Amino acid sequence: MRDFKVAVAENGRLVLPAAVRRHLNLGRGGMLIIRDDGGRFVLESADDAVRRAQALVRRFAPDASGVVDEFLAERRTEAAHEDRS
């Protein structure tokens, strides 16, 4: 792990070094998540944050792969019944 010294401008802006942007796979105008981890701030690309959240959900609902399909099927059935009423 490398440390990077980054200056913060008066308006609070900072520039991430190119090596950090490459490591986070941040393109021009990319989205960055900054998470407070007990007083330490962790930089994470938005894509990585989504993957981390998805992995967390999979731990608690490993068989949820068809949940959306089931939900949509239920809604279609309900809509069909509403149309007949």
- The domain locations on the chain are 18-84
Rounded to whole angstroms, the Cα distance separating 4 from 60 reads 36
As a dihedral over the C-alpha atoms of residue 50, residue 53, residue 57, residue 63, rounded to 10 degrees, the angle is: 30
pLDDT per residue as tens digits for the range 22-81? 888 888 878 899 989 999 999 898 888 999 898 888 888 767 667 778 888 999 999 888
Instruction: Output the CA–CA distances (angstroms, integers) from residue 8 to 14, 27, 37, 60, in the order listed.
Output: 5, 21, 21, 40
What predicted TM-score, i.e. pTM, was given to this entire model? 0.56
